[in-house]
Amino acid sequence: MGFVCAPLTLIGVIWISPFLLPVLFIWAICYDLFKSELPPGIDQPLKLRFYHSLLVMTAVLGRILEKLGICRDISLLRFMLDGIPPLWRDSKLLIRDLKFAEVPVRVYQAKAPSVGQRRGILYFHGGAGTLGSINAFERVCRYIARETDAVVVSVGYRLAPEYLYPSQYWDCLNATIHFMRTVEDYQVDPARIILCGDSCGANFATAICQILVSRTDLPKIRAQVLIYPGLQGLDFYLPSYQQNRSVPILFRDRVVYFCLRYLSKDTSIVEDVLKSSHVPEDMKLKYKKWISADNIPEEFKIRGYTPQKPPSYKYKHDVHEVIKQMLEVMFSPLLAEDAIVSQLPESYILTCEFDVLRDDGLLYKKRLEDNGVRVSWYHNEDGFHGVLTLFGYGIFSFPSAKKILDNTVNFIKKL
């Protein structure tokens, strides 16, 4: 399918570009100026505005190409977000494309011999379960492998909507189990296996860690590394969802929109989900102890937060039936019981100030600490969601991406 879509997408863009692209880009810039908000302190706001305008233009152009029958709208977004492949081989790394339990992976391993066994890192990329790829995170994984002297396995899980939820979790889980059973082939210490991911990839890492705590036939996970994770689909009115609702590149309504596309559901119910109409009252009360603005430190409520006044929503059973998978523990690992959370390994959580998903990370940090799990937390004060996607492009990158990766690498090197 990919071999067909990519050429058709490129042909469609070339055919339509002389006529429409300049107009679309001007429109996208105007859209960004009126719809987005760039709060004081965010990393390189003008550059972010430019990239966001490109993203908006690509999304609109994708819909036009879909209407013309050239390709699906999501194909063009994937094509763009794959980025530009590195123009040179990495002289320090052996990089191989393999399959673990039929799941495509890319393995990054230092060419130089090691005096002992190395760490093993499984990396699950972000992209809302519908976007992203091994190629898109090539620079990130190369950097982690070089700087930590670890064997990094980047997992190319299948994407929705072509492959229905929860195929993505099973791919990540199966690749992880395969690696855990064959670590000796890569000179990896079975006691130092780390699960790492960003955005929805961090969600996968979290869920897999929870699944594996009860497995006695496999090595124990040494640590989980969660970079701006999305961990719950219950409350989209937390402080960070309000404060950063219009901050590129991930608006508040787009979180729900991509969740619905990921689950292959009707996107017309976005507004109902944003208002929590999908959550039964008894469930909302049950999980309030874990998912509530009351559990967010006060210093994160200063900027543009208004407490929700009950009752601010009306439960709709039909909406719940459509989207109830969002309230399952696999999709929302923040809802896992204490008996599971208390068994989790040492954890690293990274949050960005200008990210709608910031509070998911803060809430999980509290849950882990309340259950006696050791947590290292790094808060990037000028970062925004998805900033790692542009890591490694020189002047086209953002300084916050380098800070995020360097802090993450420093944590891993201590394990």
- Residues classed as catalytic: 199, 355, 385
Q: How far apart are CA 312 and CA 235, in angstroms?
A: 12
Q: How far apart are CA 87 and CA 85, in angstroms?
A: 6
Q: Which of 284, 287, 236, 233 is nearest to 263 (CA)?
A: 233
412 C-beta neighbours (distance < 10 Å), count: 23
Question: What does the block give as tokens for 380?
Answer: 């990037």
Contact 295, 363 (CB under 8 A): yes
Q: Which of 360, 338, 324, 108 is nearest to 227 (CA)?
A: 360
Query: For residue 231, which amino acid is it?
Result: L
Query: For residue 314, which amino acid is it?
Result: K
Q: Which of 130, 383, 405, 73 is nearest to 255 (CA)?
A: 130
Q: How many residues does the chain have?
A: 415
Q: How far apart are CA 213 and CA 205, in angstroms?
A: 12
Parallel, antiparallel, or unpaired: how do β-strands 188-198 and 151-155 relate?
unpaired
The secondary structure of 100-152 as a DSSP string is: ETTEEEEEEEESSPPSSPEEEEEEE--STTTS--TGGGHHHHHHHHHHHT-EE
Contact 105, 141 (CB under 8 A): no
Contact 143, 391 (CB under 8 A): yes
376, containing H or E segment? strand 375-384
Question: Burial code of 44-70, b = ≥16 C-beta within 10 A, e = fewer?
Answer: bbeebbbbbbbbbbbbbbbeebbeeeb
